[in-house]
Amino acid sequence: MEETKNKTEPRYTPRIVISTPETAYVLPSRRTILIFAGVILAALFVVYGTSLGNDFVRFDDGLLIYDNPAIRFINLHTLKIILTTYDPELYIPLTLFAYQILYQIAGTTAFPYHVALLLLHAGNSILAMAFLCALSRSKRAAWIGALLFALHPLQVEAVAWASALKDQLATGFYLASLLTFLAFRTSARRSTYVASVLFCLFGLLSKVTVITMPLVLVLIDVREGRKWWDRRVLLEKFPFLLLSIVFGIIALYGKTEVLGKSSPLSILLMGAHSVIFVLQKIVVPHGFSVLYPFTGSTGFDSLKLMLSFLAVIVVTIGVWLARTRSRDLCFGWLFFLVTLAPTFTNLAKAGELYSASDRYAYFPVLGLFFLLGTLWATLDDGLSRVRGQWLRGCTAVLFTLLAWLSFQQSLVWKDTESLFRSVLRFYPHSYAAHNNLANVHRRRGDLDAAVAELLLALQEADHAKIRDNLGAVYVKKGMFREAEEQFAKAKQLDPTSAEPYLGLGLLSTQEGDHEKAYAAYANALEKNPRYAQALLNRGALYFEDGRIDEAIADDRHALQIEPLFAQAAYNLGVALQQRGKLTEALGQYEEVSQMQPNFQQAQINAGALLAKMGKFPEARTHFVSVLRYNPGNAVAQNAIEQIDRAGAQ
């Protein structure tokens, strides 16, 4: 007869043991946390070490980081901007503040951003282990669940993509808020309660998905068998509910355009499909992509969506009815469902539908990993010592495989071209991938390759944005008639869009037909009165035609819309200088130099004006700044030599 092992959990000294008549939460000891931290850091640096050298990708990284003037400085002006603007859909001021800090350290060098994300993921994994340990009362279950959270390839997007900082920060604060709330619930210390509310607030300032916090607290009550409808228990959640309502309203304001293009039915059905899609990716970790295009109907006539919807409904009803017999199953499934639900409105973007996004599942999958961890611990308890060793050996092999798959997936994020080539490998009909690859070729100057990609995109979908981009490439190639045809087709496809008129304005300007260009810009501004780029272009045309006051008015208007629009500020400075308003012009050049230090012409103009005013040391500083970015700039070199000679005399 085989010897059986001890079925009880190994004893260890908890850092906090909190008891009430209802429950007892046991957080892991400091020693356990340090051991897990060492293991997880070593594992993650092995998995992601190579990908730390990845570049930024032109998929939100420019919008949030290297082309974002709001993060280049930390001052009252930029802090006001990040507190009062969206990105353009999400309200994420704390995330933008974190980018400000990173920018002061690293500028536009990608490596430190990737290191920061990796360390945040490690920290989130440690918090996840502590949270799972408190819930399951099992160190083994917590380790298994947290290792799955750390190493599963579904998590790679949130770790390897610099723009996923909001997901990482929100998850960290969410877990910290949950842990401190558990501590308060059983210790009644007001300080831990206040900390929990503050962590929740910080999470909401990082990303609005933390609005599910009150529901998760109710799920914990249900799992623990509490009377969650009790007045005292409900009052504990009131600050969290209030924060969720406020930030929910803020989020809805930013999502007005997106929500207006999606019906509640399509959001619901696509959301159910997304749930099933993520489950498949967890079970079969293959075919990961930054884009998962969805094709087909989004109504009741879609068999795929209806089956997904029915499956989610049946499972949800089933686990709820069985909650008294299997509270872990109920909690894990509903945690996953509830925390994933806020992302359902994000599955329609730029006219294309998506089944899911890996980063949206970054935190929600913790509910499923909690289930797998508790299942593993239960199974391990029921096996003999020999069979238990086999189980642990198979588990080690599984984690090794997951780590290898994560390593491979992290390399996909090497650069923009690699990222979208990967999309086409699994989804060859993705017009968005072709469109993004065309932008890569256009920036390289390979216009023929850009046209080829855009034509492939048009074979998949006749989309106004693709027509706009193709028209812009044709303008660069000097193919004006072809460009005009593309802009005309874009107007037909999307009569509400201002983009085609902007393209027509640029085209008419190059052809020398200024009146036609003015008309195009007027049409663009009629479609979108806050179109700062159209104001900038029209202002430049006014300046060229000698209509300086009108140019100044358009540049000022553009800056009212986008206060950190460096090109508009520079153009305004040039126009003011033309009008002889040298002090105001200098102020604009100085502001551009602060917004964008590598804007060389603004630095040169500022230096020239300062020298003209006799302020040679200040002027020299601007010319030195030019040489920092362009050591061979002859204008700056000559200016410095003249200033130094004047100083020597």
Task: Look at residues 102, 110, 70, 86 and name the one whose alpha carbon lies nearest to residue 595.
Answer: 70
Confidence (pLDDT) at 1 = 36
Give dist(CA 437, CA 499) in Å, integer.
20
Residue 17's pLDDT band (boundaries 50, 70, 90)? very low
Residues 543-555, mean pLDDT to the nearest whole number: 95
- pLDDT 10s digits, 346-358: 888 766 889 999 9
Give dist(CA 521, CA 556) in Å, integer.
16
Backbone φ and ψ of 231, nearest 5°:
-55, -45
- pLDDT 10s digits, 26-37: 778 889 899 999
Percent of the chain with pLDDT over 90: 67
Q: Which domain holds residue 110?
A: 23-414
CB atoms within 10 A of CB 256: 9
Confidence (pLDDT) at 350 = 67
Percent of the chain with pLDDT over 70: 94
532: in domain: no
Give dist(CA 588, CA 605) in Å, integer.
10
549: in domain: no
518: in domain: no
Residues 544-570, mean pLDDT to the nearest whole number: 93
110: in domain: yes
Q: In this model, does residue 635 exceed pLDDT 60?
A: yes
Q: In this model, does residue 548 exceed pLDDT 90?
A: yes
- pLDDT 10s digits, 284-323: 999 999 999 998 888 887 888 999 999 999 999 999 888 8
Q: In this model, does residue 7 exceed pLDDT 90?
A: no
Backbone φ and ψ of 17, nearest 5°:
-120, 115
Residues 384-405, mean pLDDT to the nearest whole number: 90
Give yes or no for a contact between 416 and 435, defined as CB atoms under 8 angstroms apart: no
Q: In this model, does residue 87 exceed pLDDT 90?
A: no
Q: What is the 3-state secondary structure (H, E, C) of 19-72?
A: ECCCCEEEECCHHHHHHHHHHHHHHHHHHHCHHHHCCCCCCCHHHHHHCCHHHC
Q: In this model, does residue 538 exceed pLDDT 90?
A: yes
- pLDDT 10s digits, 162-207: 999 999 999 999 999 999 999 888 777 889 999 999 999 999 999 9
Residue 257's pLDDT band (boundaries 50, 70, 90)? low
- pLDDT 10s digits, 90-129: 899 999 999 999 999 999 999 999 999 999 999 999 999 9
Q: Give the angle subtended at the CA of 287 by the CAs of 282 and 292, to the nearest 5°.
A: 90
- pLDDT 10s digits, 576-626: 999 999 999 999 999 898 888 888 999 999 988 998 888 888 888 898 888
Residue 9's pLDDT band (boundaries 50, 70, 90)? very low
376: in domain: yes
Q: Which residue has the tokens 């019906």?
A: 263
Least confident of 53-67, 124-138, 251-265: 251-265
Give yes or no for a contact between 636 and 626, defined as CB atoms under 8 angstroms apart: yes
Give dist(CA 535, CA 555) in Å, integer.
7
DSSP secondary structure letter of residue 300 = T
Tally the domains of the chain: 1
Confidence (pLDDT) at 261 = 64
Residue 19's pLDDT band (boundaries 50, 70, 90)? very low
430: in domain: no
Residues 278-284, mean pLDDT to the nearest whole number: 95
495: in domain: no
Compute the mean pLDDT over every residue in the chain, rounded to the nearest whole number: 89
16: in domain: no
Give yes or no for a contact between 564 and 73, defined as CB atoms under 8 angstroms apart: no
Task: Look at residues 493, 526, 488 and name the one whose alpha carbon lies nearest to residue 507.
Answer: 488
